[in-house]
Amino acid sequence: MILTAVHELVLAQVSNPTPQAPPLAGKFMQLLHYCTWFALLSGTGAIIFAGGRFAWEKWGGGPLESPKMVAGALIGGVVATSAGTLMNSVLGS
């Protein structure tokens, strides 16, 4: 009986808070969007550079080391683009 009274007293004092954005959330989201664009542009540039280097190595007859660069750029792109989707599913926004 005492536990029930304490439980009701605690529930009466604790309200259901409404979620609010933290201060400077808009500026942080803008910075995050800029970082996303930078990651996508640098990944695209890396794939273009690695493709050009692959063609140069193939034409020059040297050892082919650029396929590793292409694979690394593709894996990095997959990680960078899926990070937002993963965080949205985890955080539930």
The model's pLDDT over 16-50, given as tens digits with 9 standing for 90+, comes to 667 788 888 889 889 988 988 888 888 888 888 88
Distance of CA 30 to the CA centre of its chain: 14
Q: Which band of pLDDT confidence, cut at 50, 70 and 90, is reported for residue 6?
A: low
Number of domains in the chain: 1
Structural domain that includes position 75: 43-80
Q: Determine, yes or no, domain membership for 55.
A: yes
- φ, ψ for residue 64, nearest 5 deg: -90, 105
Q: Determine, yes or no, domain membership for 74.
A: yes
Q: Determine, yes or no, domain membership for 70.
A: yes
Tokens of 88: 């949205």
Q: Determine, yes or no, domain membership for 68.
A: yes
Q: What is the pTM of this model?
A: 0.58
Q: Determine, yes or no, domain membership for 65.
A: yes
